[in-house]
C-alpha cells in the first residue's frame, strides 16, 4: 500500500466508521495520516485524508461543540477557552465558573453518548464507597437526559443501555419519529416524546464532510405541532428559568443564551445564530461564512466550476470556493475564499493556502517543531514561525497596522494583558488580517508530527481487540491497561482477559455496518414504505461453511448470542461468501425488537416503523478508544445457532 501511495499520484485515503469505531480507532486514523505524509499525499489536488460522514450536518454538529472534550470549535476546556467564549457570549467568566461544583470540574470532559447508561448506573463521588473505583467523577450519577436526533440502537451494549434508561428519573426524546430510546426500556413515568422538525422544515447552515457549508432553506412548513431545534432550545431555556424562579434562584438561562440572537415570538433566527458562531470561531475559520455569503452561493451555484469548485470570473461569487469550506479566515468582510485543500503552500494564505499548525510549541528535546524550508506562496517570512499574538505583531513591527477599532477591541477584552491576546481569541479579527496581509498564516508555520507524545501510543501500534479469537496474540499485542477517562472507569486488559475463556463458546468474529437502503438508527428510513420494501428483515450474514456445520439454511431464523449480559438476537440467516469462514456481519439500522421480544406495542399508536428488527448492538460488547471513547462496533465475538 505504501509503495502504491508513493508512486501512483495523486492518492487519497477515504474511510468511514470502519476505521474509527475501534479500541485503536485514533491509532488507525493517525497511521493513515502518517502514510499520507510519508508518501507526499497531503496538501494537493486529489490527495489527502477524506472521511465520510453519515448524515446531514454531522460535521457541523461536531464543530459547534457536540464533542465532549471541548468548547465550540475545538478551543478545549481550559480557562483561556472558557474566557474566550464568555467574551463571545457576553457572560461574565466568574458567573460561568460559579455554575460548577468545583473549579476543577470546569476543565473535565463530559460523558460521551457511548457511555451514558454507565453514568446512570454508577454512583457519583458523593455516594461512592471507600476503595470503590467504579464511580462517576462528578457529584451525582446521571439523573435525566434529553435526546435530540439520536437513535438509541446505534450504541453498543444495549442490554446495559436498557437498564440505564429504566433507572433515569427523566427521559425526553426529541425526534421526528419515536426512536429506540422511547421503547427500549419498560418506562412508565417521566418519559416525554417531543416532535421535532426534519432538516427540510427549517432553515440554517449545514457543514459537510469536506468542511463546505450550505445554507439550507425551509422547503415545507413543519407538520402538526413539531418545532425545530432552535425553538425547542429556546423553550427549554424558558422552562429552566421558570424552574429556577420557583426555587428563588437568580439564574436566567433564556436571556443569557439568546442575548445576541434575534427571536421572533419563540423562534430564534438561524441567521443570527450563525453570526454568533462567526463572532467566536476564529480557531477553525468558521468566521467568514456569513449568512449573506452562503445564500449568495446558493443563488449562484451555476457559476462554480465543478472540478476546481471556484467561482468563475465576472460572477457574484468570483474566486470563492463553493460553500466557503472552513477555514474561511477573518471577518466576512475580508472575503476569504475558503480553504478547499488544507496545508496547500502553493497558494497565498489570502487565496486559500496554508501551512501545518504550530500548535505543539516551538521546540521539543532540543529540536525545532517549526517548519524548515517551507512556507506559503508570497509569505514575507520564509521560515517557520510560532502562532501570532499581539506580542509577535509588536516584535515584527506590524502592531500599528491594526485599525483603531481593532486595537480598541483588544484593549477592551485584554486590558493590561493585551500582549497575550492571540489570533484565536481576538474578537476583532485584526491579528488574522494583519498576518495574512504579509502572506503569513496566523496559526504559525510548523511541522506535521508523526510522534504524538501526549497520546497513549505516541507512535501507532497494533493492539488486539478486547474480544479476539487470536488469544495467542494478546501477550504480544495487549490492549491498554485499565484507567479512567471522561469521568468514568475505562477498562481494558481486565476485560480482554475474558477472551481466553469465552472464545470457545463464541468462536465467530462479528462485525457490523451500514446498508444502502437505511440510515443511522433507521427510524426515518424504516418508516418510509418505499425503502422499507427493499429490506424487510434484519439478518446476519454467515459463511456457507459455518452455516453447514450448524445446520443453518439460507433465510431461516437463527439466534445470534454474545459474550456479555446474556445477549441474544433473533434474526434471519443470509448464507453468503461475502463473509469469510469464522466471520459474521450484521447491519445496525434495525430496532423495535429486543432479545426476541417484539416492542411494537410500546410505540404511540400510529408512530411505529413499518419494519422492525433486532439491533446488532444488542450483541456488541465492551471496548472503547482510549482518546475519544468511540465504541468498538467492528470486532467482537458471537455464536450463531438455529432458532
- Residues 499/484, Cβ–Cβ less than 8 Å: no
Question: Does the pTM exceed 0.85?
Answer: yes
Closest by CA to 158, choosing from 118, 198, 127, is: 118
Number of folded domains that form the chain = 3
pLDDT value for 131: 81
Looking up residue 504, the CATH number of its domain turns out to be 2.40.40.20
Task: Give the whole-angstrom CA distance, residue 103 versus residue 333.
Answer: 39
pLDDT value for 503: 86
- Residues 484/470, Cβ–Cβ less than 8 Å: no
Domain membership flag for residue 12? yes
- Residues 330/433, Cβ–Cβ less than 8 Å: yes
Tens digits of residue pLDDT in 564-619: 999 999 999 999 999 999 999 999 999 999 999 999 999 999 999 999 999 999 99
pLDDT value for 166: 96
Q: Cα angle vertex 11, ends 6, 15, to 5°?
A: 120
Confidence of residue 55 (pLDDT cuts 50, 70, 90): confident
Average pLDDT rounded to a whole number, residues 431-435: 98
Give yes or no: residues 563 and 432 share one domain: no
For residue 437, is pLDDT > 90?
yes
Give yes or no: residues 433 and 565 share one domain: no
Domain membership flag for residue 344? no
Neighbours of 537 (CB within 10 A): 13
Domain membership flag for residue 24? yes
Domain membership flag for residue 414? yes
Average pLDDT rounded to a whole number, residues 389-406: 97
| CA distances (Å), origin 155, targets 150, 161, 495, 567 | 10, 8, 19, 14
Average pLDDT rounded to a whole number, residues 45-62: 90
Average pLDDT rounded to a whole number, residues 315-322: 98
Tens digits of residue pLDDT in 156-181: 999 999 999 999 999 999 999 999 99
| CA distances (Å), origin 248, targets 97, 245, 251 | 20, 5, 9
Give yes or no: residues 637 and 500 share one domain: yes
Give yes or no: residues 486 and 392 share one domain: no
Give yes or no: residues 506 and 438 share one domain: no
Tens digits of residue pLDDT in 88-142: 999 999 999 998 999 999 999 999 999 999 999 999 998 888 888 899 999 999 9
Q: What percentage of the chain carries pLDDT values higher than 70? A: 100
For residue 500, is pLDDT > 90?
no
Give yes or no: residues 484 and 519 share one domain: yes
β-bridge partners, 191:
171
Average pLDDT rounded to a whole number, residues 353-358: 97
pLDDT value for 72: 96
Give yes or no: residues 562 and 510 share one domain: yes
pLDDT value for 507: 96
Give yes or no: residues 421 and 540 share one domain: no
Task: Give the whole-angstrom CA distance, residue 615 versus residue 463.
Answer: 27
Report residue 286 as a C-alpha cell. Answer: 468558521
Give yes or no: residues 397 and 510 share one domain: no
Q: Which helix (H) or strand (E) holds 162?
A: helix 158-167
Domain membership flag for residue 546? yes
User: What does the chain come to in residues?
Assistant: 643
Report residue 201 as a C-alpha cell. Answer: 422544515
State the greatest distance between any 2 C-alpha atoms of the chain, in Å, as a whole number. 82
Give yes or no: residues 570 and 430 share one domain: no
Domain membership flag for residue 294? no
Task: Give the whole-angstrom CA distance, residue 371 versus residue 368.
Answer: 8
Report, in angstroms and rounded to the nearest whole number, the Rg of the chain calculated over CA atoms: 26
Average pLDDT rounded to a whole number, residues 295-312: 97
SS3 170: strand
Tens digits of residue pLDDT in 255-265: 999 999 999 99
Q: Which helix (H) or strand (E) holds 219?
A: none
Name the average pLDDT for the chain.
95
- CA distance between the termini of the chain: 43
Confidence of residue 65 (pLDDT cuts 50, 70, 90): confident
Domain membership flag for residue 136? no
Domain membership flag for residue 333? no
pLDDT value for 397: 97
Give yes or no: residues 430 and 477 share one domain: no
- 598 lies in which domain range? 471-642
Which residue carries 413543519 as its cell?
222
Give yes or no: residues 384 and 517 share one domain: no
Amino acid at each position: 500500500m505504501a509503495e502504491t501511495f508513493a508512486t501512483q499520484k495523486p492518492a487519497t485515503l477515504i474511510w468511514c466508521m470502519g476505521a474509527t469505531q475501534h479500541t485503536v480507532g485514533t491509532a488507525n486514523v493517525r497511521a493513515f495520516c502518517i502514510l499520507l505524509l510519508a508518501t507526499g499525499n497531503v496538501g494537493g489536488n486529489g490527495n489527502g485524508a477524506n472521511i465520510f460522514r453519515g448524515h446531514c450536518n454531522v460535521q457541523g454538529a461536531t464543530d459547534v461543540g457536540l464533542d465532549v472534550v471541548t468548547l465550540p470549535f475545538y478551543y478545549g476546556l481550559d480557562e483561556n477557552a472558557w474566557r474566550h467564549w464568555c467574551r463571545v457570549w457576553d457572560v461574565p467568566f466568574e458567573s460561568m465558573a460559579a455554575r460548577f461544583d468545583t473549579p476543577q470540574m470546569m476543565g473535565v470532559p463530559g460523558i460521551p453518548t457511548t457511555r451514558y447508561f454507565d453514568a446512570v448506573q454508577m454512583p457519583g463521588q458523593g455516594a461512592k464507597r471507600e476503595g470503590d473505583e467504579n464511580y462517576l467523577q462528578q457529584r451525582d450519577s446521571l439523573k435525566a437526559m434529553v435526546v435530540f436526533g439520536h437513535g438509541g440502537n446505534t450504541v453498543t451494549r444495549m442490554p446495559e443501555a436498557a437498564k440505564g434508561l429504566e433507572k433515569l428519573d427523566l427521559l425526553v426524546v426529541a425526534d421526528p419519529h419515536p426512536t429506540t430510546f422511547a421503547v427500549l426500556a419498560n418506562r412508565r413515568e417521566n418519559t416525554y416524546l417531543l416532535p421535532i422538525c426534519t432538516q427540510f422544515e427549517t432553515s440554517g447552515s449545514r457543514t459537510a464532510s469536506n468542511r463546505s457549508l450550505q445554507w439550507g432553506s425551509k422547503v415545507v412548513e413543519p407538520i402538526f405541532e413539531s418545532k425545530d431545534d432552535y425553538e425547542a432550545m429556546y423553550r427549554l431555556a424558558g422552562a429552566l428559568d421558570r424552574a429556577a424562579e420557583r426555587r428563588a434562584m437568580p439564574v436566567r438561562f433564556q436571556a443569557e443564551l439568546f442575548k445576541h440572537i434575534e427571536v421572533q415570538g419563540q423562534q430564534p433566527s438561524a441567521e443570527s445564530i450563525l453570526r454568533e458562531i462567526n463572532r467566536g470561531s476564529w480557531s477553525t475559520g468558521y468566521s467568514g461564512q456569513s449568512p449573506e455569503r452562503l445564500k449568495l452561493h446558493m443563488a449562484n451555484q451555476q457559476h462554480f466550476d465543478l472540478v476546481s469548485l471556484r467561482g468563475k470570473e465576472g460572477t457574484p461569487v468570483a474566486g470563492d470556493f463553493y460553500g466557503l469550506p472552513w477555514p474561511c479566515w477573518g471577518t466576512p468582510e475580508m472575503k476569504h475564499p475558503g480553504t478547499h485543500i488544507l496545508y496547500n503552500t502553493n497558494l497565498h494564505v489570502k487565496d486559500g493556502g496554508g501551512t501545518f499548525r504550530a500548535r505543539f510549541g516551538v521546540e521539543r528535546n532540543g529540536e525545532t517543531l517549526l517548519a524548515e524550508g517551507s512556507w506559503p506562496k508570497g509569505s514575507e517570512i520564509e521560515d517557520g514561525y510560532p502562532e501570532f499574538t499581539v506580542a509577535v505583531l509588536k516584535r515584527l513591527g506590524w502592531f500599528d497596522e491594526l485599525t483603531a477599532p481593532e486595537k480598541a477591541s483588544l484593549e477592551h477584552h485584554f486590558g493590561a494583558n493585551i500582549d497575550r491576546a492571540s489570533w484565536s481569541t481576538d474578537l476583532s479579527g485584526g491579528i488574522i488580517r494583519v498576518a495574512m496581509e504579509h502572506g503569513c498564516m496566523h496559526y504559525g508555520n510548523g511541522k506535521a508530527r508523526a510522534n504524538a507524545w501526549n497520546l497513549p501510543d505516541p507512535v501507532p501500534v497494533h493492539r488486539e481487540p478486547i474480544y479476539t479469537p487470536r488469544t495467542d496474540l494478546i501477550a504480544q499485542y495487549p490492549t491498554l491497561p485499565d484507567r479512567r477517562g471522561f469521568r468514568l472507569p475505562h477498562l481494558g486488559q481486565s476485560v480482554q482477559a475474558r477472551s481466553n475463556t469465552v472464545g470457545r463458546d463464541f468462536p465467530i468474529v462479528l462485525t457490523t455496518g451500514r446498508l444502502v437502503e437505511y440510515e443511522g438508527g433507521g427510524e426515518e428510513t424504516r418508516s418510509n414504505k418505499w425503502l422499507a420494501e427493499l429490506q424487510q428483515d434484519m439478518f446476519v450474514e454467515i459463511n456457507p461453511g459455518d452455516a453447514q456445520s450448524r445446520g443453518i439454511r439460507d433465510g431461516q431464523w437463527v439466534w445470534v448470542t454474545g459474550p456479555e449480559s446474556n445477549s441474544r438476537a433473533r434474526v434471519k440467516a443470509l448464507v453468503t461468501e461475502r463473509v469469510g469462514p469464522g466471520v459474521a456481519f450484521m447491519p445496525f439500522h434495525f430496532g423495535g425488537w429486543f432479545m426476541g421480544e417484539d416492542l411494537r406495542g410500546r410505540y404511540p399508536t400510529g408512530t411505529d416503523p413499518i419494519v422492525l428488527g433486532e439491533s446488532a448492538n444488542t450483541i456488541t460488547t465492551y471496548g472503547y478508544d482510549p482518546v475519544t471513547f468511540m465504541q468498538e462496533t467492528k470486532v467482537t465475538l458471537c455464536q450463531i445457532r438455529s432458532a
